[in-house]
Amino acid sequence: MLPRVAAVRNLGPTSWQVADTAAGRLDAFWEFGRDDANLLPGALVAREAGALVTDAAGRPWSAGSDSFLVAPPGLHGHLVEALRADAGAVTGAR
């Protein structure tokens, strides 16, 4: 993903970064792996703010999902495509 973006950062607690995305202070947030306890509150705030909350493949996110992506509707689809392409480059699958 690094060649596609200006910066990739971890800014502290996961739920805070998701809430910052919902508020428009961050463009997007994604994570691979399960982190339900930290993602549930932020996911609720983000959905209520109008952001799309899915897994990295674009499927609806729920507790137990193996990845997480939150972004505004205009950016979300582009990120799903980029994450899919980057995952394929790493694993050799497309």
Q: Which residue has the tokens 């910066």?
A: 7
Give the 3-state DSSP-derived string for 33-77, with helices as H, strands as E and coil as C. CCCHHHHHHHHHHHHHCCCEEECCCCCECCCCCCEEEEECHHHHH
pTM of the complete model: 0.81
Per-residue model confidence as pLDDT tens digits over 38-88: 899 999 999 999 999 999 999 999 999 999 999 999 999 999 999 988 665
User: Which pLDDT score is estimated for 55?
Assistant: 95
